[in-house]
Structure 1
Amino acid sequence: MAAAFWFAVLLNFKHIFLYIAPAYFIYLLRCYVFTSNEDGSLRWRSFSPLRLIGLGIIVVGVFTLSFGPFIILGQVPQVLSRLFPFKRGLCHAYWAPNFWAIYNIADKTLAVAGTRLRLIEAGNQSASMTGGLVQEFEHIVLPSIPPLVTFILSAVSMLPALYTLWSRPRGGQTFLRALTLCAFGSFMFGWHVHEKAVLMIIIPLSLLAIDKKKDAQIYLIMSTIGHYSLFPLLFTQFETPIKICLLAFTSLYAFTGIANIFRLPWSYTSLPLLSTLESLYIVGIVPLELYNSVIHHCLGLTYKLSFLPLLLTSIYCAIGITYCWLKFYWITLHDKSKQKQS
């Protein structure tokens, strides 16, 4: 009951937490409204309508207090249009490092290749999606994406995690996994995703990192790449030393702390818990940031190709975040299949 109240309050403070609302809904319904048998399976006859009504009263009460003044003044449509800005386009001016960043660059690459091969007229190309503006744009080669497609893909990406949470919940860890995967799915496929939404993945993942090595491995990659993906939001030269030092210190603390928890030695060929290839990927942000902060300006490309550093950062981080999403999902479902066999 307390969880329902505080999450409803949190959701009304910032609607970005709608990303993880499905995990809260399924977990409270499964573990509070229903109960489990001794083997962990659902006991259907345990359904409690009073508990369901109690949860509903709490959630509806919080939303009524929050939206009540807007309902009285007839301003609900205006509020909803601001909360869900479908007219702002698929991506921000700086693309969040998700599936749509990869989709955009694939469309741009195909358009350039098609123009050089004379399969597409040069006049048909549009640079609006790399113009640094928040607006709707049409893809050139690949199909343009409406909001409904992003909603469907986000929902589908959550379904396996929510099914796992519903079928056999195992306390807080199962809930955290589902919550993290809901945040992952919304970040990967959502409409007009905010870059800072990556923190909604990193924070719950940090709680899982101290328990299992596989989770810690994903956390180390996500923490480093996720925080680095926020660098373009601090864009002035005066902020460059601050953000670099903060990332360096927090990453060093994370790798050292995880290594101490699992008693892992440091290696000259790879970082703790990471493979050689994963370590090279993490270290790769050093030359990338060197280009973004120094070389790009020295080459005089600041005005001619102003979007290039943003594009490189977005695509590079999108590759790592996609890798972490797929691997974390595989670990979650693989652990589930192991339990079924046992």
Structure 2
Amino acid sequence: MTSSSSPSLSSQYLIPLILLALYIRICISFAPHSGQSKPPMFGDYEAQRHWQEITVNLPITDWYRNTTDNDLLYWGLDYPPLTALHSKVMGHVAETVSGSWVQLHGSRGEESYEHKIFMRVTVLVSELVHLTPLFLLLSPSTCPLSSLFLLAITPSQPLIDHGHFQYNSISLGLTLLAVLALKHGWVCTGSAMFSLALNYKQMSLYHALPFFFFILGPRYNSWSGVRELVKVGVTVVLTFALCWLPFVDTAGDVLTRMFPFNRGLFEDKVANFWCSISVVVKVREIFSRITLVRAALFFTLVSVLPSQLLLFRESTPHKFILALTNSALGFFLFSFHVHEKTILIPLATIVLLYNDKRTNGQTNGQNNELTVSLPVVWFTVIATFSMWPLLLKDGLYMMYIAGMGLYLTTVYILFKQQLYSTSVLLFMLSVLGCVILHLLEIYVEPTERYPHIYPTLNSLYSAGHFALFFCYFNYRQIVD
């Protein structure tokens, strides 16, 4: 990450910008949530509430097992131990406020106004784990205000956590804390933070290889480095042991729930390779599940290993961010059973390049009028667009329009002096394609033969962009 030539900003901007980001999230929280008033399963809001109910009322040995009191077909826990323990803490707080919110069997579908306030506040508090390291990593003392403002109004993650309803901010925040620690040379602290992220959401594995190679690269060939690697290994083992100690007797059940291969290659329309190719070749019908698991593993490793080997050879902070991005994008495009929301994982590290000239194709010493990286802005827009079918299903279309409108208006102000540059024109054409697909969905009814044509077009259009971004950020890691 490089500094901009723009005037330096004092850290006094940090708190106002975090408050702006929190304000936007509060506004989104007034919108509907996943599965609102849609029995019998409701949605992710009910899943999070149900996990509080289970963890508060049942012994820890039954949290991941199918029992008479824990029907795994009704939002069974499928995240690692820290998510379960976090649910238990929130469940006890909820029980203190109102026991009916987590009453075993009797609280299903709880959607009272007071309970919604409680649940929304828990997400808002957890957001500080995400926002604080994010702004610190972008160095408010040197980063231009334009970059920080775009960071504060980025719509993707708030729409999912505060609209759809999840706690992605915790795992993403722990990952960013790990990056922040490594940036300052606190290797064991960073390793512990990332281990906690892995134990909160298993999708943090998307970032695991870059952490491994970034820590290993400069340390494997000296005795002092080997001693430090031993300390890192002990830190990781102890962190995992502390997280898993209460679940020793049910570790097999936890792992089975964390990696549900029986759920198939993908579910809804997701903007990755497997869903895209299935439009032409019905791979789920042609190949067995085990064959698809092996194919997904092979394609994923082949796609991400080159960037990781580059990082091993040159372990710099800039290469680290690019390797994190390339690894997460490779996993999103090729791994088994990816959700559309998972695009937030590569986005979490891509935004760290907001103020990096090199991602604009500029080398050191060249003049660059842009105050933010266009590829990062572009990726943010497409990432949000790719989740449109999910946001529409949740009734979050007004928040999507408002969030994208604010973001694109700011981008226009920043880039209006470069309207006739090739890269900006391509960006505008890309956004125009998104707008055209939205207008078609509004005014042209899908045919009976192709009832899901618009989610399919959305996934194909987004997947094409993500594939190009994957190539571009790998290229940047090679040439920078």
Alpha-carbon distance change, 300 to 254 in structure 1, aligned in 2, over 3 angstroms: closer
Q: Which moved further from structure 2: 273-282 or 76-85? A: 273-282
1:62 corresponds to: 239
1:231 partnered with 2:231 = no
1:334 corresponds to: 479
The CA deviation string for residues 254-311 of structure 1, in whole angstroms up to 9 with x for no partner, is: 4544x3xxxx7142x56xx72534421221111101222x224xx364x764322211
**1:179-218 pair list within 5 angstroms:** 179-212=324-357, 214-215=359-360, 216-218=373-375
Alpha-carbon distance change, 50 to 290 in structure 1, aligned in 2, over 3 angstroms: same
Alpha-carbon distance change, 97 to 213 in structure 1, aligned in 2, over 3 angstroms: same
The CA deviation string for residues 29-61 of structure 1, in whole angstroms up to 9 with x for no partner, is: 224x34xxxxxxxxx234534322211121111
Letter in 2 for 1:284: G
Q: Matches of 2:412 and 2:356 in 1, distance apart?
A: 15
Which of 277, 289, 308 is the aligned partner of 1:103?
277
TM-score normalised by the chain length of structure 2: 0.54
1:48 partnered with 2:225 = yes
Q: Matches of 1:197 and 1:11 in 2, distance apart?
A: 14
Instruction: Kindly indicate whether the alpha-carbon contact (under 8 Å) linking 2:328 and 2:346 is maintained by their aligned counterparts in 1.
Output: yes
**1:305-316 pair list within 5 angstroms:** 305-316=450-461
The CA deviation string for residues 94-138 of structure 1, in whole angstroms up to 9 with x for no partner, is: 2x2111122111216xxxxxxxxxxxxxxxxxxxx9xxxxxxx31
What's the CA shift for 1:237? 7.9
1:317 corresponds to: 462
1:295 partnered with 2:295 = no
1:155 corresponds to: 301
Q: Matches of 2:380 and 2:402 in 1, distance apart?
A: 15
Letter in 1 for 2:285: E
1:38 corresponds to: none
Instruction: Kindly indicate whether the alpha-carbon contact (under 8 Å) linking 1:97 and 1:317 is maintained by their aligned counterparts in 2.
Output: yes
Q: Matches of 1:147 and 1:232 in 2, distance apart?
A: 26
Where has structure 1 moved over 4 Å in runs of 4 or more?
A: none
Instruction: Kindly indicate whether the alpha-carbon contact (under 8 Å) linking 1:138 and 1:144 is maintained by their aligned counterparts in 2.
Output: no
What's the CA shift for 1:91? 1.2
Instruction: Kindly indicate whether the alpha-carbon contact (under 8 Å) linking 2:418 and 2:424 is maintained by their aligned counterparts in 1.
Output: no
2:369 corresponds to: none
Provide structure 2 residue ranges, at least 5 long, that are not aligned to the other structure: 1-187, 361-372
1:265 partnered with 2:417 = yes
1:283 partnered with 2:440 = no
Letter in 1 for 2:443: I
Letter in 2 for 1:207: L
2:217 corresponds to: 30
Q: Matches of 1:58 and 1:14 in 2, distance apart?
A: 19
What's the CA shift for 1:238? 4.2
Q: Matches of 2:300 and 2:393 in 1, distance apart?
A: 34
2:199 corresponds to: 12
1:252 partnered with 2:400 = no
Alpha-carbon distance change, 295 to 139 in structure 1, aligned in 2, over 3 angstroms: farther
Alpha-carbon distance change, 63 to 144 in structure 1, aligned in 2, over 3 angstroms: closer
1:77 corresponds to: 252
Q: Matches of 1:266 and 1:218 in 2, distance apart?
A: 14
Q: Matches of 2:412 and 2:199 in 1, distance apart?
A: 35
Q: Matches of 1:217 and 1:175 in 2, distance apart?
A: 20
Alpha-carbon distance change, 86 to 238 in structure 1, aligned in 2, over 3 angstroms: closer
What's the CA shift for 1:317? 0.7
Helix, strand or coil for the counterpart of 1:152? helix
Instruction: Kindly indicate whether the alpha-carbon contact (under 8 Å) linking 2:304 and 2:326 is maintained by their aligned counterparts in 1.
Output: yes
Q: Matches of 1:256 and 1:106 in 2, distance apart?
A: 41
Helix, strand or coil for the counterpart of 1:253? helix
Provide structure 1 residue ranges, at least 5 long, that are not aligned to the other structure: 35-43, 109-128, 130-136, 336-342
What's the CA shift for 1:184? 1.0
What's the CA shift for 1:8? 0.6
What's the CA shift for 1:22? 0.6
